Each structure stands twice: as C-alpha cells, then as structure tokens.
Amino acid sequence: MRYYEYLFSITKNIEDDLIETFFDYNFKDYYIDEDVKNGITTLKMYLSAENPNEEFINLLMEKFSLELLSKELVIEKDWLRAWLDTLSPFELIEGIWINPFPEEPFEKEDVEVLHIVPGSAFGTGLHATTKLASKMLKKIDLKDKTVLDIGCGTGILSMVSKLLGAKEVQGYDYDRIAVEKAKDTIKMNNMNIEIGVSDFLDNVKIYKPDVLVSNMVAELLIGIMNHENFNYFITDKTEIIFSGVIFHKEKLMIEKAKEKGLELRERMEEEPWIALRFQKKI
C-alpha cells in the first residue's frame, strides 16, 4: 500500500499528550524518533494515500502547534523498515524481555522472551503504561489464577499473565484487526490464550476472574466500570488493574472507582502515566 508520510518537529514535553490523543482516536500508524545526540525529536505519521484523513492532521497541528517539515508519498514496507531500525530487544519487567524481531532469534539466560511483531508504541510493550501494568501483574501471585485482559491490543499483558503462572487467560478488544494480530502473536509464542472481539464487557466469556487488567485511557477505563456487566464480573477478591491513566485524570479515576464501590490498593507511576489497582470495598 501507498501512504503519505508526514514529518513533524515536536518538543519532548508534548510527547505523552500526543500519544494519548493517538490512543483516543485509535490511530496507530506513527512513531516518535528521539535523536538524543542532537536533541531533536520528530514525529512521523502515515495516512493511506487512497483516503488521507487531513482533518486529523489539521486537528493535531492546531492542538499541539506542530511544525510540518515534510509530506512525502511512500510505500508501506519502506516506512515500517525505517521504524524497525529504531528498535532493539528490551526488558519489559524483571524476568521478561521483548524481542520485536520474531524472525531473528534472541535468547537471554534465565529470562522469558516474548516475540512481538511491532505495530505501534503501545503494540510492542515500549510504552510506560504497558510496563506499569506488567509490574503490577508481577506483584500479584498469578499461579493458577484466571485473568481477563480488556482492550488487549496485541496481547502483551495476556501473555505476561500466562508467563507469570495464570492458568486461564482471556483477552478481548473491540478492534478486529488488533484481535487478529493478537491471535497471530500468541500463536507465534506457543501460548494457550483465548482472544476475542468485545466492546468492553459485551461478549466476554470468563466471569468472576481473579484478575481484571486493562491498559487504556481513563475514559475507556471508566467505560468498563460503567458497563452493565461490571458488577457481575468481579468479586470481593478480584484484583482490578487499570493502567493508561494520565496524571491529570487520576483524581477522576479514583472518584469513579469509589462510586462503584472500589477501594484503591496500590498506585504506580512513571511520569506522566499512572497505574491503579483496586478491589471491592468490603
């Protein structure tokens, strides 16, 4: 496929707000390149040449005062290759590494390695919200537990849960393309995890999980709590991990959780992102 590549110069302080906006609009064809040596940060976005959404570009330029450096017609494989050149295997959490090059063998002594086909910052495990959720999962004893991953994306948190000892894991996403990618990734890693399509809790099969984990923006996490099935899905013992909360929406999240009878048990932060762990208040 042919794409238009938009190149912007950005400042470091707007990076997280940009990513949150991409998440809100379910836009995944971008990457941010930081040239530490020269102190330059650039954003590259890719829109289909057949139907470019210039309105979204204009919205971003106005909202963040972006400076457009160039617009160029490119072939998909070319820009994916350029982005892949910026990646390398990395540690997600202690004991678990991510290899973004599944066609290239990568082994590390005494650690588990997840092979991921990259698609965006959220899809590889690079983003702070994925790491925060993974850290919280690691602190819970998942041995023989059931885990429900809502908004599973490429399935990283589902696979992390399995590596940490969960006996049954199910992941759901409303994006059918993400679901297919998650299925391919899980198959590539030889894991027994059920993945399906669901808008919030509409079509979820697993009831009363030991752990419910979700890595989405605050508005979508609140949507989970407001869903008509929410109270049927959790028990007093269900550990609820919500990651993807930007700092200025933490208070809103905690207030909404209190309204739903949830009590804050733990908080983790990697500025400006926050992960929160709740349980039903007894």
Selected residue with higher pLDDT from 3 and 79: 3
d(CA 239, CA 280): 9
Shared domain check, 140 and 73 = no
Residues 164 and 68 in one domain: no
Same domain, 29 and 160: no
Whether 94 is covered by a domain: the verdict is: no
Residue positions counted in the chain: 282
> 86 pLDDT exceeds 70?
no
- Residue 172 has what pLDDT? 95
pLDDT (0 to 100) of residue 84:
59
Q: Does residue 28 lie within any of the structural domains?
A: yes
pLDDT > 50? residue 52: yes
* Residue 80 binned pLDDT confidence (cut-offs 50, 70, 90): low
Residue 31 or 183, more confident:
183
Residue 24 lies in a domain: yes
**Residue 174: which pLDDT band, with cuts at 50, 70 and 90?**
confident
Contacts of residue 177, Cβ cutoff 8 Å, sequence gap at least 6: none
Q: Which of 35, 67, 84 is the last residue of a domain?
A: 84
Domain count, the chain: 2
Give domain status of residue 39, yes or no: yes
For residue 19, the model assigns a pLDDT of 81
Task: Provide the pLDDT confidence category of residue 159 given band limits of 50, 70 and 90.
Answer: very high
Q: Do residues 243 and 167 share a domain?
A: yes
Q: What percent of the chain has pLDDT over 70?
A: 90
Q: Are 150 and 263 members of one domain?
A: yes
The verdict on 220 and 159 lying in the same domain is yes
| Same-domain check for residues 135 and 210 | yes
Q: Could you tell me the CA-to-CA distances from 125 to 30, 128, 158, 160, 227 in Å, in that order?
A: 15, 8, 12, 11, 27
Q: Does 272 share its domain with 134?
A: yes
Q: Name the band, by pLDDT with cuts 50, 70 and 90, for residue 139.
A: very high
The number of beta carbons lying within 10 Å of the beta carbon of residue 271 is: 9
140 and 237 inside one domain: yes
What is the percent of the chain with per-residue pLDDT over 90, rounded to a whole number? Answer: 48
Same domain? For 265 and 158 the reply is yes
Q: Do 158 and 254 sit in the same domain of this protein?
A: yes
- Provide mean pLDDT across the span 206-221: 91
| Residue 273, domain extent | 125-280
266 located within any domain: yes
Q: Are residues 242 and 148 in the same domain?
A: yes
pLDDT tops 80 at residue 63: yes
Find the CATH number of the domain harbouring 216: 3.40.50.150
Asked if the model's pLDDT at residue 40 lies above 70, the reply is yes
| Separation CA 267–CA 282 (nearest Å) | 19
CATH number at residue 19: 3.30.70
**Cis omega before residue 272 (within 30°)?**
yes
